Chains A and B, each alone.
Chain A
């Protein structure tokens, strides 16, 4: 499985360490909240809201360089719009992967 990385953040920062730190802190604060909202909605079968949550989470997936995971998230978001949870297991695994990664930062 592909692994998260900070290449995009480094490319944005141009060596600005303060920005790197600031952005990582924002992600560390925002990601768990978005994840929590997603689980609340998916566990209540609120598929439309859950698809919106996946949409937001997709950005962080891409920021952390998870290209294949991003494609999976796009498919899952589209499935949720049709009230289908196909792809949930893979998506939940991606969230766990990111959780583990940001805990190391």
Chain B
């Protein structure tokens, strides 16, 4: 099984890599210190198994799982026993290892992963996750209030100097932030930077001309350098 490791602690990544080296059927492709880098990797590479830490700054293991449309098998690795019940609400999670992980317990987890068929892991998201999971929410700070936005409802983000204009189905918000910062908080599967001043939700595109896209009622320029990536992401006939 091709696997990756996601853990913000270098010590943990080294230990899990070492544990994997004891099992001939495992091939560690990469180890990531945060979920964002892993998401980018998974957009372009297939893996069979992820060793995933839960407690990570900014983006937790559960947030990460929510961003995956078809997650592979996942073994959670954590120092916290409190999430065991929540963990097994996700069909993709095949085991839950509490640190420090021992080799016999690790081997048992791999046996479980190997005996779990891909069909069993298809159902990945808890029924109420859409409403409750922080993975689908983005909080923006406006006038000292944190306002929750439903990420899929965002269709456009426009840079305006030191501010960004976030447009959603219901309302527009002007936030003191940068495109780069908000891009890091949004799933690559939905959002794409098409121009140095614009990030769009590709699911909301109405049509595309040579150098622009129509999204809702906004015509957004597409820079030459970003156009190939946009075309790659479309389901073209």
Contacts and interface: CB of A to CB of B under 8 A. Distances in A.
Interface of A: 8, 11-14, 16, 19, 22-23, 26-27, 29-30, 52, 55-56, 58-60, 62-63
Contacts of A62: 79, 99-100
Contacts of B8: 56
Contacts of B11: 23, 26-27, 30, 59-60, 63
B100 A8 contact: yes
B9 A12 contact: no
A36 to B, nearest CB: 15
Given A55-B55, A58-B79, A59-B79, A19 B10 contact: no
Nearest to B54: A55
A16 B99 CA distance: 21
Interface of B: 8-12, 14-15, 18-19, 22, 55, 57, 79-80, 99-100, 102-103
A12 B15 contact: yes
12 contacts: A11-B103, A19-B14, A19-B18, A23-B11, A26-B11, A30-B11, A55-B55, A55-B79, A56-B8, A56-B9, A59-B100, A63-B100
Contact of B19 (A12, A27, A59, A60): A12
Given A19-B18, A22-B14, A59 B9 contact: yes
Nearest to A8: B100
A65 to B, nearest CB: 9
Nearest to A31: B11
Nearest to A13: B18
A23 B80 contact: no
Nearest to A58: B79
B100 A14 contact: no
Contact of A12 (B10, B18, B55, B79): B18
A11 B102 contact: yes
A16 B8 CA distance: 24
